[in-house]
Amino acid sequence: MLSNLKLQPQDKILQLIQMFREDPRDTKIDLGVGVYKDANGLTPVMRAIKSAEQQLWQSETTKSYTGLAGEPAYQDAMIGLVLGAAVPRNRIAAAASVGGTGAIRQALELVRMASPDATIWISNPTWPNHPSIIKYLGMKMAEYRYFDADSGAVDFDGMCEDLAQAKAGDVILLHGCCHNPTGANLNMTQWSEVVRILQATGATPFIDIAYQGFGDGLEEDAAATRLVASSVPECLIAASCSKNFGIYRERTGILMAIGETAASQPVTQANLAFLNRQNFSFPPDHGARLVTMILTDDTLRTEWQTELEQVRLGMLSLRTQLADALRVASGSDRFGFLAQHRGMFSRLGTTPEMVEKLRAEHGIYMVSDSRMNIAGLNARTIPILAKAIIDCGI
């Protein structure tokens, strides 16, 4: 049986990690891996997480299973964080998941159960796991234009033209904030137009929000998701705690499914629990419990929000420093869009050949589509990167 298996394509980012490790150059820079790093190149444990873990260690009395959909307190805390009061709670079904990726997988499985012929519309470009999971599940997929490489901004006219082709029953996958891989975001006026298109076509929005708090602030980053969710009959939301709580390895996420009325909530909730049972039974609880403690304790929440804001402002500063360094090195403002992008990532807008040239000649490691992890930079490496970009003729 096992001899019938075929070798699967290696993950490109994992390949980059290995190549970076084997590169002996002191000036090498890793901008590929999608995790937050501080100025020392470390992914630290947030202070509020440390405090919550100490409290949990003293108070926890059991390691028994939690519920199939996770703890209700975690669901309520995350719904409050992402949606606020935008949607009545009795319309929302929710289930804890194995990270944000697990929430995406569960959402797509839910769509396949409810509407097997649905087409999933994804942005071009998008996070590679989106099309990978859709293809693996054998679902229909279409792309909508999103990024204009020349301007480094959203191709909004192209996006709207493509989304208008969606049909009732289709699902439109949207990035709630800090678009991955481009860093280019819609403004609220543009989001209102997306809502109008959703209402006109009858397509269902599916929002992936993995970076709340990394862009313009916790509330600001949730504004688009709240607008969409409050404006359409049904909505799916996959949220991750990996980045904004820094608990990557705890695999803490949640799927929210918003129905048109409260009457549909019990059936949807039962289906979310059923899907969890089929895939992993009970979701991991440690990270979810820490998140719950932080979001429901005023002292812990204040400490967490303070540190998260420091992280956000630090990344904005790195963006400004890089744009300024490139302005000086190039004698133009053609890289000014980097300071306007938000979140961990930006897309430089160059070719795979130029990306390879950056790696081979300067030890600059980024994904072949020119996605850079801005959080991988610091004051020492910014001038090195700026010089390399100009030297390569980008």
Examine the residue annotation and report whether 63 is marked as an active-site residue of this protein: no
Q: Which of 208, 221, 285, 369 is catalytic?
A: 208
Examine the residue annotation and report whether 243 is marked as an active-site residue of this protein: yes
Residue 140's DSSP bridge partners are 119
Q: Tell me if 83 sits within 8 A of 225, measured CB to CB.
A: yes
How far, CA to CA in Å, does 361 sit from each of 14, 333, 391? 21, 24, 10
Q: Distance between CA 222 and CA 209 in Å, rounded?
A: 8
Q: Which of 203, 243, 285, 357 is catalytic?
A: 243
Task: Residue 59: count other Cβ atoms within 10 Å of its Cβ.
Answer: 8
For residue 255, the SS3 value is strand
Best CA proximity match to 348, nearest among 370, 367, 326, 330: 370
Residue with tokens 């137009």: 193
Examine the residue annotation and report whether 387 is marked as an active-site residue of this protein: no
Can you list the positions of beta strands (E) in the chain? 29-30, 92-98, 119-124, 140-145, 147-148, 153-154, 171-175, 204-209, 235-240, 252-258, 345-347, 364-365, 371-373
Residue with tokens 């300067």: 362
Q: Distance between CA 279 and CA 112 in Å, rounded?
A: 15
Best CA proximity match to 102, nearest among 251, 289, 314, 317: 251
Q: Distance between CA 310 and CA 291 in Å, rounded?
A: 19
Best CA proximity match to 10, nearest among 132, 117, 127, 114: 132
Task: Supply 266's token pair.
Answer: 């019990």
Q: Which of 118, 210, 238, 323 is catalytic?
A: 210
Question: Active-site positions?
Answer: 127, 208, 210, 243
